[in-house]
């Protein structure tokens, strides 16, 4: 997966701060930019997804 440049990262943050909903891929790229491994970043996105929230699973 490609990595974001500093400029791309800042542009995504600005869009999000303006209230725009970023895609899962854009959120994944942000997490990778911040240093998370791809596996951990994908898990973080899944836990924050509606699919997970509606599943009835509980994180302990």
Tell me the pTM. 0.74
So what's the pLDDT on residue 49? Answer: 66
Q: At what angle do helices 24-33 and 38-47 cross, to 10 degrees?
A: 130
In a domain, 8, yes or no: no
In a domain, 40, yes or no: yes
Q: Residue 53: which domain range? A: 24-60
So what's the pLDDT on residue 46? Answer: 78
Structural domain total, the chain = 1
In a domain, 41, yes or no: yes
In a domain, 38, yes or no: yes
Select from 35, 37, 31 the least CA-distant residue to 12.
31
Could you read off the pLDDT tens digit of each residue along the chain, which spans 60 residues? 778 999 999 999 999 999 999 998 999 999 999 999 998 888 888 776 666 556 665 555
In a domain, 60, yes or no: yes
So what's the pLDDT on residue 1? Answer: 72
In a domain, 42, yes or no: yes
């Amino acid at each position: 997966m490609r990595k974001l440049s500093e400029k791309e990262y800042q542009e995504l943050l600005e869009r999000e701060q303006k209230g725009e909903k970023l895609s899962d891929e854009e959120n994944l790229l942000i997490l990778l930019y911040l240093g998370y491994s791809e596996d951990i970043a994908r898990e973080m996105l899944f836990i924050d997804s509606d699919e997970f929230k509606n599943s009835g699973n509980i994180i302990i």
